[in-house]
């Protein structure tokens, strides 16, 4: 027996992920500053910091995309906006992969925030 998810339910799940992604973003930085910053430096702590910085940079590159006007009738990014989006998505992918090599308590928040940023871009380009 298979269970089918309606398109509306799928959209609601995606919206919930996108809306909770900033909470995961803030929690990941909070956890880093609260617990890991004062510990002796180890390679996992460095990888966590790199993933946090990449996650922030990728998300920050998506903000101007929402402000760049698009030609009427186009939903997909064109020109420089398309380049910005490709770079931001690749940065988010690198942060997503890197977080699995970082500290255990920040793996889920970083991965969740990266996934939420990608879903956000998908939703704003769907029209």
The 10s digit of each residue's pLDDT in 32-79 is 999 887 888 899 999 999 999 999 999 898 887 777 666 677 666 667
Taking a C-beta distance cutoff of 8 angstroms, is the pair 99, 113 a contact? Answer: no
Domain annotation covers residue 34: no
Domain annotation covers residue 20: no
Domain annotation covers residue 75: yes
Domain annotation covers residue 59: yes
* Domain that residue 78 falls in: 43-127
Distance separating alpha carbons of residues 111 and 21, to the nearest angstrom: 9
Question: Long-range CB contacts (< 8 A, 24+ apart) of 67-76?
Answer: 75/125, 75/126, 75/127, 76/125
pLDDT of residue 82: 76
Domain annotation covers residue 82: yes
pLDDT of residue 107: 92
Domains: count for the chain: 1
The 10s digit of each residue's pLDDT in 98-123 is 999 998 889 999 999 999 888 888 87
**Cα→Cα distances 27→22, 32, 64, 82, 120, Å:** 8, 8, 24, 30, 19
Does pLDDT of 2 surpass 60? no
The pTM score is 0.81
């Amino acid at each position: 027996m298979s269970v089918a998810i309606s398109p509306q339910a799928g959209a609601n799940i995606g919206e919930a992920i996108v809306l909770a992604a900033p909470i995961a973003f803030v929690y990941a930085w909070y956890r880093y500053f609260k617990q890991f910053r004062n510990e002796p430096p180890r390679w996992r702590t460095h990888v966590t910091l790199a993933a946090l910085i990449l996650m922030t940079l990728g998300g920050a590159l998506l903000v101007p995309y929402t402000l760049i006007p698009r030609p009427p009738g186009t939903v997909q990014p064109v020109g420089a906006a398309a380049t910005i989006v490709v770079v931001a998505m690749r940065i988010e992918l690198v942060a997503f992969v890197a977080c699995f090599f970082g500290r255990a308590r920040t793996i889920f928040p970083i991965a969740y925030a990266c996934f939420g940023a990608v879903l956000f871009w998908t939703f704003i380009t769907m029209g």
